[in-house]
Structure 1
Amino acid sequence: MTIRTTEQLISPLVNGSELADVVFKIGEEGVQMFAHKLILSISNLFWKKLFYSQNSNRSNGNKIKVIRIPDIEPESFKPVLDFIYTRKAELKLDIIWSIFEVCDRFEMDEFRQFSLNFLENNLETNQLFHYYEKSLNDQHPEIRKRLIKLIEQNSQKIFSERNCLNNLQEETIFQILKSRKLQVKEFELVQRIKERAEFLITQKENNNIKKEKEKEKEIEKEKEEEEEEEEEQEQEQETEMEMKKGKTKEKEKKIVIKKQVKKIKLKNNAVIQNSNNNKKRMKCTFPKQTNSKDKNRNVKKKSDMRLQRKTFQYRDIRSCVGNLLEKIDLRLLSNIELDQLVKANLFTKEEIKQSLNQIKNRNQKKRDQRCKTKEDLKILFITNETKQARIENILESLRSSGIKSISVLHADKEIPFLKRLKKYDALFLFSAPRGNFKDPIWLGDEISKYVDDGGGIVICAYACLAERKIKSKFSYALDGGISDQAYLPMKKGPFFSGKNGKTRCDLGKVFLPNHPTISQVKCFDGGIHSHRINTEFVPGGVDSKMIAQWSDGNPLICYKRKLEQNGIVLVLNFNPVSERKFLGDKGGISGSWSILSNGNKILSNAIQFVAMN
């Protein structure tokens, strides 16, 4: 008898329909993949919270759960199930970026480390720059750190090859040159950058030559067409004259035959080219005899053209290289190498002196001024919500971006002064639909002063936007200065109560896909009720933009800046509380945004954008 291991026992259950109580429909085609709630909940806390909240109702406990994920491909979701069951998976470099997105979405830290190790072990030195450039666009800091280490370790091999920086963008080269652990001389880096500039110049010249050739061909075709039209007109005039004189019908037949021959010649390019060449040969003339004076003039013209060509290339090189050379520390170069840079027309002696002085001044400024990071930001969360579980629900999504210091102000009990608000880098305002502010006018005036002073704020649904009911007992809408339309990028309007499922909506048109507030946001599901306000976007001020819409046309994310000296007012037209229900308490709202979508990233990106800008 052989004793089987746990992997041998569980491996037949991977994507097996036996005893399966979860069915995933992956991709647009809805490819079915079977799984088990028990194994998923043991492997990850995300699945545990999801299935615990859904199985809290006993009526739905024994039914098979169907989960649809249309924005993930089956090839990238299958390794996830393999890793959950067997702690092994077959990965490919082509799918690695989609796998990292899945890890971020389902909070799978172990699988992310497994995929990072696979990326390190299977990448070649020629592919490091290419994958590093992708990591900058996809905003994965962990991948960037790993790839930079590999570049630093293999920097001698990479930069020894010529034209290694030709196909890269300037931003990627900036990030690579920032690292001071590169085992490469500064002079070699300058040579690689110069080669990149020359490569770009040759590309521009080739494109210009192609365009000129195309224009010449078009001009030749136009001339040929004009000549043919003139010949046809002359022949028509001759025929008319002959017909008037009463010539025989045989000549008319010959004219018809000539026209048919011309049509056949137009179809055959070879015949046309030969005919054109013959015409040119007939029209050619002998060149005139030139004197010695004329020869000297031609030589001077050619030399002047060559000098102009050199200055033209020098300007192009400076335009392509000037920004990149700022990242190079000229103090590490010897005097001989500096003279070579001057001879290569990359620098002048005066520019070298100025750059050395600038490097000293920059180092002093960096010591004095320290740029704030995500961890150093201070944010104030203002709300009139009385339930602590819902407040923690919002704070969890805000902290997902790495922000640590978030303090809460209960606006139903106290009101802050402007001195207290200035201590924070940004504000987050949320008004519950059944909440009351202690003094909505005073609070609105203090927040408007904070925005006028240059501070930023994120406002969620209901606060300042919903139309306040006169007979209602609740004062969920703020008054005062911040409620003025000069600060808000949206009109006030009624909010959907969410009693019927007809109000369900999701992410619609995205106007600014490269905006930081929408980064890493693949989908957003508002839930059954999709709490939002029925309103319109109002442009105005110095800077006001619509970032994204709901699927029904209502604005979802937009911001506005009143004046250049004022701060940003960013509006999120949805309830920030998710449908998530914590273990032991009920923090979520039924019918709010789905946790399978990227609502937490929208919240974290919004507060980070407002605080950093």
Structure 2
Amino acid sequence: MEDSLEKLFSKQFNKKEFSNVKLVVGKTKKVFYSHQFVLSMISPYWEKLFYDKNSEQKHPNRILVVFLPDVKEEIFLLFLKYLYYRKILLKKEKEKEKKKEQETKEEKPKEIGKETGQMIELYLLSEKYECEELTTRCYEYFRKQISNSNCLIFFQYFKNRGISILSNCHLQYIRNNTELLFGDVNCFRQLSKETINYLLDNNYIISKEINIFRSLINWANSEKERKSKDQENVTIKTLLKDYLPTIRLDLMDFQDLQYVYSTGIYPVEQLFNCSLRLINKYNPVLKRKIRIRKNSKILVLCSARGGEKKLFDFKKMIMDCGHKNVDLINISKSSASYKKINSYDLVILRCSNYSPTNNPQSMGNHLAKFVRNGKGLIVIAINSLIENDSFRIQGKIVEEGFIPLAVAERNTSTSRELGQVHIPDHPIMFNVNSFKCKDYTHFIGTHDINGGKLIASWDNGFPLITEKTKEGGKFGTVVCLNFHPMSTAITNGCGKAWLQETDGAEIFSNSINYLVKRSNLH
């Protein structure tokens, strides 16, 4: 019965008989016929036009003539067809063209084709006419079309047109696939300088630095070829002038630097100094392969035995991993309001069992609210979660199970190392191949992770890295690192420090990047 009604309804499409609206569309004044009730049924815009008591068009018993000179004929035809067929009826591509597109799909990034252009115009028209159902259909069409080959060029197109809901949809895809997208050294070729600046200045790029550099070189070669037709003396170095300061040469290895040298872009002396730093194999920073989110604001809430020096050493370790916008509050002497805490993208918490936490109950409540607001928190489990320790964190962050490790006794063991990695492809484990403590190991001795995810364990089976995002609402994520945070680079005489030639710096910096990325999605 429903199908027969739909067929009957669709037969009235663009029929002059029984119609009571004549629509004169576009520059060619193409005429379409429709019905007031059909247009009004799905569109508040048309309903107001026809039936509002103040409307000049309120004449339901006679044929109305409506002029739409600014609307394209073929787009209005699609709109009208949708009202009668409840389907988006695009003209199918010829099989030959379709086959050709399939053959070249992997060779170059997809451009804005005719079908896509029509869908964009239809989307804009549906918004103009307040046709929510059609707007949603168009949005779903674009969402399903997103792929590695088109997301960057489509993002640029929608952003330039000011279509924020579609540009944000593609930006979300870019955020979730940055390693793969920026691994293609041709990814920037079709992008404008403004779009590249926008992408590199934002807080979600995870890519090897050499890939960013290669992509910029390829983009500059394309720009040079294009501009050489109109301008003389266009050089790669000139085109890349604004980008060179943003490239982190210290995140490259010898092979990467050799390629950079071959381009002749950087001074030899600068590259030589980078090579000298690589000789120091114990520098934990130099293993970093992923691009740091340079705009991230990080707050370290930390207390420590041994005075201010250890606190600032801890802050320096984080900054040495590439995170420059780092503030520190000594929570054994000061406290932080929720307003202060919430102004950051990420908080790192480290309590001490020798230095009391100033108002740990209030601090825990603030942190719970911070995570509820979609932000990320890293908890250094040692001392922060010790059972029967009045210096540990308290309040709702513990009571409501936000932290993916239960409060328990601190265990001391002989030197332990990285054991089973339960989620090998987790972003926190990127480039993490080894992790080991010097002489002995402190950790919270529990297997209870409060319903969180176990990412990696110590070699004795106890949790090493865990994470949890509470269900319900847009909660942020809490990552728990169950080891002493200092490396032997800071406290060489401390037996519980992790060996700086292992990958503790990667664990810290990956955790920060992972949580800042998730925080930016909320």
Please state which structure has a larger fraction of its residues in helix.
Answer: 1
TM-score when normalising by structure 2: 0.47
TM-score when normalising by structure 1: 0.40
Larger radius of gyration: 1
